[in-house]
Structure 1
């Protein structure tokens, strides 16, 4: 069976790449942002993951989204809409050099989302990340699930769907513990 998802052991460089991406993006849109958050599996120390950085840009004011979108376009991002998830706007990359910066940096694959600070999607990303950061035993379980799905899933959708029950369980635990 052809592998549709590649899982790599955790790499400290993922955090470093996030910091460089965040700095580059903030130079262009930082005045409109409350924060830039590293979310997803690459943000959890010790967790094997798909080598894709997920960034959530948190807006200071939701009304500033058009200005942020315009500036992200200058960096080479393409607005894709909310892709069916309310409270989160997705941006794709024009090419491997996005975000455009000095020189011709080839950036690691990453997903960029812009969220208002009261976004349910943002709350889920942060709750999931923060809970796993505090519970290494859950990280081990999640890694086993991801590795098994990477071997058996017939598509990326099947891989993602296979994680849903675990993710929802972690979110329930995170919200009950806060």
Structure 2
């Protein structure tokens, strides 16, 4: 009997889907554009759809996973969009009142060729945009972030939670700097 991903333990999932870093690939921008087009076609009423995460920052190594931030108007209930997102091939991974996170490209055989993490949030809940823009504008800081990820890679190759946790202070610091420098860039008018 074939098991489903949802039936695997966290330890089994981390073994099947280890942290992998790779040099920046130009195709990532196109993968984002194609996926954003699919999402926009199936969810025309959503707001901004943005490419976030390290794959959106040229010149640094990244996990080959396209992170997408999709913002929706506050009048919309996030849960009302879940079914339409799942019809686009996504699996709901986590949810709370303010966000729902989805993954696409995870199989029982490991990673598919294209992997996506979709972060569904309300308009204005977009700190990731400030972090991305700050790193895009500050190559030296982007390289520091890349080095931090290299340092964590082998130690936490099979523990995504710890890998993410140990990047947290760096991300907070430079998100705040980005918000100060780019104040209001992504506020809703």
Tell me if both proteins adopt one fold, taking TM over 0.5 as the criterion.
yes
**Misfit runs of 4+, over 6 Å:** none
For residue 79 of structure 1, report the CA deviation from its aligned partner.
3.1
For residue 147 of structure 1, report the CA deviation from its aligned partner.
0.8
* 1:131 maps to 2:171: no
1:152 corresponding residue in structure 2: 155
Alignment check: 8 A CA contact 2:105 2:113 kept: no
2:98 corresponding residue in structure 1: 87
* 1:5 maps to 2:19: yes
For residue 107 of structure 1, report the CA deviation from its aligned partner.
5.5
Alignment check: 8 A CA contact 2:57 2:136 kept: yes
1:108 corresponding residue in structure 2: 114
- SS of the equivalent of 1:63 reads coil
1:168 corresponding residue in structure 2: 172
1:24-35 to 2 correspondences below 5 Å: 24-29=38-43, 31-35=44-48
For residue 135 of structure 1, report the CA deviation from its aligned partner.
0.6
After superposition, give the CA deviation of every residue in 1:32-70 in whole Å (9 maximum; x if it has no partner): 111210011101111210011111111134425344222
CA distance in 2, matches of 1:153, 1:72: 30
CA distance in 1, matches of 2:115, 2:54: 14
For residue 176 of structure 1, report the CA deviation from its aligned partner.
2.7
CA distance in 1, matches of 2:105, 2:150: 30
CA distance in 2, matches of 1:165, 1:87: 22
Q: Which consecutive unaligned segments of at least 5 residues does structure 1 have?
A: 97-105
Single out whichever of 37-46 and 87-96 deviates more from structure 2. Answer: 87-96
After superposition, give the CA deviation of every residue in 1:81-125 in whole Å (9 maximum; x if it has no partner): 42x6x52211234866xxxxxxxxx66111012111032xx2x11
2:33 corresponding residue in structure 1: 19
Structure 1 residues 134, 88: closer, same or farther in 2, change over 3 A? Answer: same
Task: Give the structure-1-normalised TM-score.
Answer: 0.80
Task: Give the structure-2-normalised TM-score.
Answer: 0.75
CA distance in 1, matches of 2:105, 2:29: 23
> When the two structures are aligned, how many residues end up with a matched partner?
162
CA distance in 1, matches of 2:20, 2:86: 29
Q: Which consecutive unaligned segments of at least 5 residues does structure 2 have?
A: 1-14, 184-189
